[in-house]
Structure 1
Amino acid sequence: MSPGAEATSDVVIVGGGAAGLSLANRLLGTGAATVTVVEPPDGPRRPAERTWCYWDDGDGDGDFEDAVAARWPLLRVHGPDGAALTVDPAPARYRMVRSAAFERLVHARLAHAPGGRLLRATAGTVRDVPGGAEVRCTEPGGRTLTLRARRVFDSRPLPALPPARTQLLQHFRGWFVRTGTDRFDPGVADLMDFRVPQPPHGLAFGYVLPLAPDRALVEYTEFSRAPLTTAAYEAALGHYAREVLGLGAFTVESAEQGVIPMTDARFPRRTGEAVFRIGTAGGATRPATGYTFAAVQRHSRAVAAALRDGDGRVPPPHGRRALFMDAVLLRALDTGRIDGPAFFTDLFRRTPAHRLLRFLDGATSFREEWGIGLRTPVGPMLRTALEVPFLPRRTHPVPRTGESPR
C-alpha cells in the first residue's frame, strides 16, 4: 500500500491493551463489525507485561479461560490488629490474567477471523470525517497510513486527567517471588493485608496471590496523593515479605510497578461524532478500588451489543449511583474522616462476601447498597455524602499511569 493510502474497516481500535483487545474480541465474536486494532510496534512504546485480576461467577469468562494464569476460591483480609478473616465468595472466584498470554490469545483470533486485522504502527491524530472517522498512523519503516472506519475507539492514556473533586493514587510495586520452602496456600488470595506500617495520609496494604506453594506475586500498595520512589517501594516490600510474611530465603524472579488514578473526575466517553474512548481513558477504572478488567469486559459486551443492534450510543462503564458512592468514599478517605484499614476490614467482616464483590463491581440493587451502607461509619459517610455535590472540581497533577493490575 502506497504512502498515505487508506485502509477501511467498520471499527478501528487504537491501543491493544486490555480494553482494546477485549472490545475487538467481542466485536468479532458477535459479528457486529470488522475490526482493525492498531498497536505500537516492538520497542519502548510497548508496555511491560502486566497482571490483570478480576472475579466472576461460575466458570468465568470462557472466552479468556486459556489466558487465566491462576484462580483462588477463597479470599483473605488481615486487619490492622493482625486478625485474619477468610471468606468464601462462591460462586465467584478471583482470577489472574497475564497480559502476554491474553495478547497471544486475542492476536491469534484476530489473525483467523475474516474481519479481523492487527496493525503494528504508531497511531497519531484521530478525527471525524464525513461518514465516520480516520486514524493517521506511521508504520515502523516510516510509511504513513490512513485508516478509515465508521467508528474509532481510542484506549490511549489521556494527556491530562479531567478536573475532579477528589483524586488519590493507587500506586504499587510487586515481586514475583520463589521461596526456598513452601510458604503459600494456592487456594487463598490475600486481597488486603493491613499489617504494614500505615502512611501519614491514606492507607497501605500487602497483596499476595499464590501461584504455587513456593511461588507468589507479593505486592505493596498505597492509596495516597503521591507515588513513592522505587527504593521506598523496595524497602516496604522487603519489610512485608521478610518481617510480616516471614518468607525466609526467597528469589525475586521479576517485578511490576504502576500508578492508577482513583478519581471522581468525569471522563468523556465521546470525543467526536464517531470517536469514542474506552478503558481507563473512558472511565472504566472503578474510582474507589482501581479494578478495571471486569468493567472492561462488561463494557465491551455492551458496546458490541449496541453496534450489533445499530445503536450509535456508547453506554457508560459504570452507573451514576456507583460513581457517587465512590466519590463519597474517596472524599472520606482523603479527609481522614474514616480509618481506611478499619473501613475495608469491617466491610469484609460484616457483609456476605459474594454480595460485597457484586457491590464492588457495581452490580447490587439500591436495597442491597443501603444495607451495606448501614454497616459503614454512618455519621462520617453521611456528612461526606451531603458535602460532595457542592465541592468544586479542580485539576490535579497527572500521574504516570499504567493499566490496572486489578
Structure 2
Amino acid sequence: MVGVNTSAPLDVDLALVGGGGAASLVLAALDRHGVRGPRIAVVDPVHRRGQDRTWAFWDHPGNELDPLLAASWHRVEVATPAGRRVLDLAPLRYAMLRSGPVYDRAAEAERRLGVRRIVAPVEALHDDGRRVTVRVGGDGPTVRASWVLDSRPRPPRRPGRTNWLQHFRGWWLESDAPVFDPTRAVLMDFRTPQPARGVSFGYVLPVSDRYALVEYTEFGPALLTDAGYDAALAGYRDLLGLDAAGLRVREVENGVIPMTDGPFEARPSPRVVRLGTAGGATRPSTGFTFSAMRRQADQVAAALAAGRPPVPAPAYPRRHRWMDAVALRALDGGGVGGPEFFDRLFARNPAERVLRFLDGATTPAEEVALMSSTRLRPMVAAAAGDAAARLRDRLHRGGRAASWTVPPPVLGDRADG
C-alpha cells in the first residue's frame, strides 16, 4: 500500500471507490488471477480492518476461501411451529466468513499489486466516455481513471413496486457450558412471533459448542427500535432454551439490507461500474449478497487478466429477478405467509436445488419445479399484479431506458485525458 497526500492529479487504470467487502474481494481476485501492470487506486474514507460484519453463504468446499472461514456446516436446520427439518446440503456447504480475514487478504493483495490507497471521501465522479475523473474530498488528489468500480451503497434507480428491508441484530454469545451443536447451523427458525406485516425468523451459526452467532431477522417495510431488537433477541434466546445467566454477549452485529424489485443501476455511465448491493448483488427475495459479490470480483479479475473491460455479468438472470418480484409481491400482499413459503420450498425440493436457485444457478426446468412448490393461486395473482404494474410503469416512463455499450478497453493507456 502506498499512501498518497498530494494535490497533483493521480492517473490510474482502475479506481475502486469504496473499500469494503466488494472492493476487498476484487483486490484478492486480481492478485489470485495474476493481474499485474494496471495502476490501481482505492478511494475510501475508512481503511477497513477487523471484524465489522459477517457473511453467510453456500458454496462447494475446496476453494480459496477455505482458510478464511470461521465455520462451515454440511447440515442445516429449518424450523417452523409445525416442526424441524434437518437438511443435508451435499455437495454444498453453508459457510460463515468474518470480515477481518477478508480485509487482511485484501491488504496483502494491495501490497503485491502496488495499489495506491487514498483515505478520503469521493465527492463526485465525472465520466467523459474515455476517462473518469474522481473528485476526492479533503487533501486527497484528483484521480483520473480509465475505469471506476464503485461499491458505495446506492438506492435503486427508482422505487420498486415492493420495497422491503431485511433488518437484523445478532449477538455473539459465549457460554459457560456446551450448549450449541457445532455440526449444524440453524438456517431459518420461524418459531419467532411473526410481525403483522412481514416475516421474522432467528438463526444460529455455531463456531463451537460454546460460541455462536445468534441472530434475529425481519423481512418487512419498517425497522424496529434498539429496544425492539434486543427484546426479540432475548425472546429467541429463551425459545432456544439458553440460560441467560450462563451467557455473555461478546459482540453485537446490526444490519439493514434492501429487499426490493426496484432496479439497481449497475452501469450508471460508460466507464463506471457498480458492484455489491449497488450493482444488483443482493438477492431481493432473501437479502443474500456475498456469493454474487464474489462472482462479480472473479469476473472483473478474469476480464482484466484477458485484457477486456472490467464489466461483470448481471448478478442474477432476468427471470430470477422477475420471480423475486412476484414472491415479494405475494409476501407483501399477504397472499403467501413467509414461514409457509420457505417451508414448502425446502419440503418439496432437494436443499441443494433451493440453494442453487437462491444463487441464480438453476435451470429453467428446475425453476418450474421450484415454482410448483408454492401455492398456485396467490402466486398467479401476484404474477398478474406484477405484470399490470410493469405495464403501467412502462407507459409512465415512455419506454425502456437506454443501455450502455461497452467501449474499447484503454487499460494501460497513460495519456492525459
TM-score (normalizing by structure 2): 0.87
Cα offset, 1:34, TM superposition: 3.7
Correspondence for 1:271: 268
* Bigger mean CA deviation after superposition, 103-112 or 28-37: 28-37
Alignment match of 1:172 (pick from 136, 144, 168): 168
Cα offset, 1:352, TM superposition: 0.5
1:7-406 correspondence runs (5 A): 7-32=10-35, 33-41=38-46, 49-59=52-62, 61-62=63-64, 64-81=65-82, 83-113=83-113, 115-129=114-128, 131-138=130-137, 142-158=138-154, 162-248=158-244, 249-312=246-309, 313-391=311-389
> Which consecutive residues of structure 2, in runs of 5 or more, have no partner in the other structure?
395-417
Cα offset, 1:388, TM superposition: 0.6
Say whether the 8 Å CA contact 1:202–1:223 is kept in structure 2: yes
How many angstroms apart in 2 are the aligned matches of 1:98 and 1:48? Answer: 6
* Bigger mean CA deviation after superposition, 96-105 or 308-317: 308-317
Q: 1:341 to 1:159 in 2, by over 3 A?
A: closer
> Which consecutive residues of structure 1, in runs of 5 or more, have no partner in the other structure?
395-406
3-state SS of 2:141 partner: strand
How many angstroms apart in 1 are the aligned matches of 2:129 and 2:236? Answer: 57
Counting aligned pairs with the same residue, the percent is 43
Correspondence for 2:415: none
Residue identity opposite 1:108 in structure 2: E
Q: CA RMSD in A?
A: 2.1
Residue identity opposite 1:293 in structure 2: F
Question: Residues 298-344 of structure 1: CA distance to partner in whole angstroms, max 9, x if unpaired?
Answer: 12222333344444454211110110110011001000101110111
3-state SS of 1:210 partner: strand
How many angstroms apart in 1 are the aligned matches of 2:226 and 2:393? Answer: 31
Cα offset, 1:31, TM superposition: 4.2
Say whether the 8 Å CA contact 2:189–2:201 is kept in structure 1: yes
How many angstroms apart in 2 are the aligned matches of 1:382 and 1:306? Answer: 40
Residue identity opposite 2:183 in structure 1: G
Q: 1:178 to 1:37 in 2, by over 3 A?
A: same
Cα offset, 1:21, TM superposition: 1.4
Cα offset, 1:135, TM superposition: 1.3
Say whether the 8 Å CA contact 1:27–1:35 is kept in structure 2: no
Please identify runs of 4+ aligned residues in structure 1 that moved more than 6 A.
45-48
Residue identity opposite 1:269 in structure 2: A
Cα offset, 1:3, TM superposition: 4.0
How many angstroms apart in 2 are the aligned matches of 1:266 and 1:191? Answer: 28
Say whether the 8 Å CA contact 1:80–1:342 is kept in structure 2: no
Aligned length: 385
Q: 1:247 to 1:322 in 2, by over 3 A?
A: farther
* Bigger mean CA deviation after superposition, 47-56 or 356-365: 47-56
Correspondence for 1:400: none
Say whether the 8 Å CA contact 1:164–1:393 is kept in structure 2: no
Cα offset, 1:346, TM superposition: 1.8
Say whether the 8 Å CA contact 1:196–1:244 is kept in structure 2: no
How many angstroms apart in 1 are the aligned matches of 2:210 and 2:5? Answer: 54
Q: 1:130 to 1:191 in 2, by over 3 A?
A: closer
Cα offset, 1:106, TM superposition: 1.1
Residue identity opposite 1:92 in structure 2: L
TM-score (normalizing by structure 1): 0.89
Cα offset, 1:380, TM superposition: 1.1
